[in-house]
């Protein structure tokens, strides 16, 4: 598997810091977190100043690829589209450092940090944001495309819109089904528009999309459960994957949405852009499956645990008239209510490959833990066990004929975890936030290095 990409993944807001440096303007997350007096990413992992150290540690840990995102507020200054050369220079240095260390960059164009100047004009509820995004994407292709050959238009548009416009626990903090549908549609349109720019511009490489993937299971094989599964699959997966890979929004989903939502923004011209500009590959971020049963009663309820052990067991999903999520009592769960179910990754890869026949990258996989990082070395055996089981699932799918081309651990080092702050640790390298952001490799860092150097031969799957 010499051409297989073994790497780690980050996001600009979650790791860079330097929020007022190098000409960077405010993002919607800056404003939201500051105004609500919440833990923020002003400093985060200070990757902005310490990226060479971080990339060197990735190389020393055997990794041959780094998936990171570009910060739109660091590259484009204003609504007029003026380019911030300081921001471009920073990413040029970062990309060059990757290549210097023999690390393949996989670059995500948008990972949630929308410039505040666009949010003030409606953000993803405004089609003008699609146009602004397309300009931004072209700037990225022009400035970095000579060295970057793997692009992703968006990270997790489903999770972004559900959290920001339906659940309301992420900015802009709304709870409105119409807004959710509008923002979701415009993000998928913007993705297709960027693919069109990439194709017509003749840039070298591949462009895909990264999806928060949750394969859907049911409690039984009844007709009612099969219908609930289809509703859930549309809700969690098909809206993104069908649209990006096939160029078609699921018709039965549109039929359901039309009962309560205005779909007039979906013009024939824009739908043609979506249909004609499909992605080259699919990135799957896998943390857990979802198990559902037929809807029984109650209003639509979406509760996400962003408080860890203080709120364990509170997560709940009910989509009125569609389905209810079930949490099997026999399963293991993290402190943040995430089910540990590696079999879902194997089955999910097979489903996606058989349906779309596009190359697949596992663009995120990892486990959030409470950890004491003041020790000399964090003995994160739970992370090793989690990664071992999930990498085994990836290799099994690959050996079974699925075109899986890479695995990215979330994350190569500890970072800021959105509403969970820095308490929720995902890194292979510990960052001591209390003592100068010192980096110390965890036990999992060395374990992952051995996995990579032996092409996964030591994976047990247990």
Tell me the DSSP string of 84-136.
Answer: -HHHHHHHHHHHHHHHHTT-EEEEEEESS--BHHHHTTTGGGSTHHHHHHHHH
SS3 162: helix
Q: Which residues contact 11 (CB under 8 A, 6 or more apart)?
A: 68, 69, 108, 111, 112, 113, 155, 415
The β-bridge relationship of strands 316-319 and 301-303 is: antiparallel
CA distances from 196 to 17, 74, 176 (A): 32, 24, 30
Query: 105 has which bridge partners?
Result: 66
Number of H helices, E strands in the chain: 16, 17
Residues in the chain: 462
CB 78, CB 117: distance < 8 Å: yes
**Angle (deg, nearest 10), helices 177-200 and 268-276:** 50
Is the sign of the CA dihedral 265, 270, 272, 278 positive or negative? negative
Q: Which of 340, 350, 353 is nearest to 287 (CA)?
A: 340
What residue ranges in 226-349 does DSSP mark as E strands? Answer: 281-286, 290-294, 301-303, 316-319, 323-326, 332-333, 339-340
- What is the C-alpha separation between 431 and 423, in angstroms, rounded? 11
Q: Is 219 left (phi over 0), alpha (psi -120 to 50) or beta?
A: alpha
Query: Would you call 438 a catalytic residue per the annotation?
Result: no
- What is the C-alpha separation between 109 and 76, in angstroms, rounded? 12
What residue ranges in 157-280 does DSSP mark as E strands? Answer: 206-213, 216-218
Single out the catalytic residue among 179, 324, 335, 364: 364
Q: Which of 416, 401, 390, 257 is nearest to 322 (CA)?
A: 257
CB 233, CB 227: distance < 8 Å: no
The catalytic residue positions are 364
């Amino acid at each position: 598997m010499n051409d297989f990409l073994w790497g780690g993944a980050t996001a600009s807001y979650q790791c860079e810091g330097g929020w007022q440096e190098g000409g960077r303007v405010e993002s919607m997350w800056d404003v939201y977190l500051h105004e609500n007096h919440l833990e923020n990413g002003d400093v985060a992992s200070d990757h902005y100043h310490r990226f060479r150290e971080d990339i060197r540690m990735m190389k020393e840990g055997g990794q041959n690829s780094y998936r990171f995102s570009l910060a739109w507020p660091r590259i484009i200054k204003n609504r007029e589209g003026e380019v911030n050369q300081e921001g471009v220079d920073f990413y040029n240095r970062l990309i060059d450092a990757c290549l210097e260390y023999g690390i393949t960059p996989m670059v995500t164009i948008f990972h949630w940090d929308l410039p505040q100047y666009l949010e003030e004009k409606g953000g993803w509820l405004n089609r003008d944001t699609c146009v602004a995004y397309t300009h931004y994407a072209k700037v990225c292709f022009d400035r970095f495309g000579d060295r970057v050959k793997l692009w992703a238009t968006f990270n997790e548009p489903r999770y972004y819109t559900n959290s920001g416009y339906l659940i309301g626990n992420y900015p802009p903090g709304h709870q409105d089904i119409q807004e959710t549908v509008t923002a979701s549609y415009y993000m998928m349109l913007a993705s297709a528009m960027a693919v069109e720019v990439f194709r017509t511009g003749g840039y070298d490489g591949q462009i895909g999309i990264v999806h928060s993937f949750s394969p859907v299971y049911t409690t039984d094989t009844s007709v009612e459960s099969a219908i609930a599964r289809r509703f859930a699959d549309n809700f969690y997966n098909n809206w993104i994957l069908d649209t990006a890979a096939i160029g078609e929004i699921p018709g039965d989903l549109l039929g359901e949405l039309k009962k309560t939502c205005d779909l007039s923004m979906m013009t024939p011209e824009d739908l043609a852009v979506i249909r004609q500009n499909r992605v080259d590959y699919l990135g799957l971020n896998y943390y857990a499956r979802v198990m559902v049963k037929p809807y029984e009663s109650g209003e639509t309820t979406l509760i996400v645990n962003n408080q860890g052990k203080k709120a364990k067991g509170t997560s709940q999903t009910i989509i009125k008239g569609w389905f209810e999520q079930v949490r099997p009592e026999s399963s293991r769960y993290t402190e943040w209510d995430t089910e540990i179910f590696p079999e879902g990754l194997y089955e999910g890869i097979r489903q996606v490959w058989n349906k779309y026949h596009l190359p697949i990258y596992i663009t995120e996989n990892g486990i959030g833990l409470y950890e004491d990082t003041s020790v000399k070395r964090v003995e994160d055996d739970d992370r090793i066990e989690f990664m071992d089981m999930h990498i085994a699932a990836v290799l099994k799918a690959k050996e079974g004929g699925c075109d899986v081309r890479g695995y990215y651990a979330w994350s190569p080092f500890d970072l800021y975890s959105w509403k969970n702050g820095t308490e929720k640790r995902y890194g292979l390298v510990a960052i001591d936030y209390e003592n100068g952001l010192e980096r110390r490799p965890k036990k999992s860092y060395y374990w992952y290095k051995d996995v990579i150097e032996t092409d996964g031969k030591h994976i047990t799957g247990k």
